[in-house]
Amino acid sequence: MKFVITDHLYAVVVIGGVLMAIAAAVFMAISAHQRRKQQRGKKSRTAKLSRRRT
């Protein structure tokens, strides 16, 4: 039983690490896209605000 438990724990740790790495990569890509969209949105918002002010 000890060997089985250790094997399961090792597999869970390895799978968890891989999933965390994939999730981190996806999160970084999504955050980069969101930052680009936010920058574009800020530019368009500032332009709209300036137009409204004028």
Return the structure tokens found at 22.
């994939």
Q: pLDDT tens, 1-54?
A: 666 778 888 899 999 999 999 999 999 998 888 777 766 656 555 556 556 655
Collapsed DSSP state (helix, strand, coil) of residue 19: helix
DSSP 53: H
For residue 54, give the amino acid letter: T
pLDDT for 18: 96
- Please tell me the pTM assigned to this model: 0.47
Other beta carbons within 10 Å of 43: 10
Return the structure tokens found at 47.
């332009």
List the domain boundaries for the chain: 24-54
Q: How far is CA 18 from CA 9, 14, 30, 39, 54, in A?
A: 14, 6, 18, 32, 53
